[in-house]
Structure 1
Amino acid sequence: MFTGIITHIATVDSIEALTEGLDISFSCETASLHLEVGDSLSINGVCSTVVSFDSESFQIHYLKETCEKSTVQYLKLGDKVNIEGSLTPSSKMGGHFVSGHVDGMGSILSLENKDPWGVLRIRFDETLSPFFVYKGSVCIDGISLTLAKIEDGVLECHLIPHTLLSTILQFKKEGDSVNLECDMIGKYVLNAIDKGNLSV
């Protein structure tokens, strides 16, 4: 479980193909992450298990399904990624509940810097539309953001300077793919309604 508040930016150091997935090493100062083998990290919004680490890097194994359903499949050497450690009972709840289970991918239509603010527009698969609510939460590449506008398969979020400078959004450009996770509570509510377990 995560909150969508990015604490570190790491760099893809190596990528090795496995029989059913990928072995990826990321370079990052790890002491402040307080890592142990088996810990969960959010990497661009994907819940990832640490299989090994040292003071300057950590290693993740990704299953084939994870690669196919997220932007893990597009990672290249030198790419930057957002990092967040898992939520603990004493953690600040600064964003919203994030599971790290990606619901789909979107494509950046535009990322405008309207000094000092940023405006991010992303096209998404409209099957996700029921889970997006005006002023509700969305997780984009692991970042907890507020939906400022949703229209015709496009969502819009407004960014403060801190968010731009402390995440990999500073490196993003038009056409780049991003991971999307819809609000967890909304998904559970709609699922209960669909199954007839909740009336409105």
Structure 2
Amino acid sequence: MTTRARHLRADAARNRESLLAAAEAEFADRGFDASIADIARRAGVAKGTVFRHFATKEELIAAIVSAHFAALMTVARELLDAPDPGAALLEFLTVAAEELQQHDLTFLQEVSEGTAAGTELRNELHATVGSLVDRARAAGAVRPDVTGTDVFVLICAPVHAVGFLPDPAPGMWRRYLSIIFDGLRPEGANPLPGPAPSWP
């Protein structure tokens, strides 16, 4: 690859990242009503530049969500080799809550769920979280009747809990994460009612 080709590829990658950041900010401000023109204006590029990278608004949203899923997946995979499986699971849930606190992806995730890329990444993240839970359960750090799916659906819970408070203190979500994680521990646990949830 020539130096010019490398520069062009690097420029394209920077443009894409800039577009994703601008789009996420615009969607946070305006919801799904945010237009491609608004996003292009915020990113400082022409409208056609957006369409060169993303054919539709849905494809753009799927790319935003996929980037966050991919970042969480990298963290989860690295923690699979941690010497303390219980601490590794808590660290992952902490990182995930921090990510969700900074980036409210609930709306964007709902829009992207029908896309093949979004579904595949979500399933991969679910499987990796399941492996973290399996290790923690085998080490006795997590109660035996808790599954990976149980923990996966609790990832957003600390941030959502804080959303019900009128004026939460910074980092308040950590309080609710501690409550949730204590509920995952085997000490003093009562049997969970009903069967464990399935995953499609």
TM class by smaller structure? under 0.3
Name the structure where strand makes up a greater proportion of residues.
Answer: 1
- Structure showing greater Rg: 2
Name the structure where helix makes up a greater proportion of residues.
Answer: 2
Q: What TM-score does the superposition give when structure 2 sets the normalisation length?
A: 0.23
Q: What TM-score does the superposition give when structure 1 sets the normalisation length?
A: 0.23
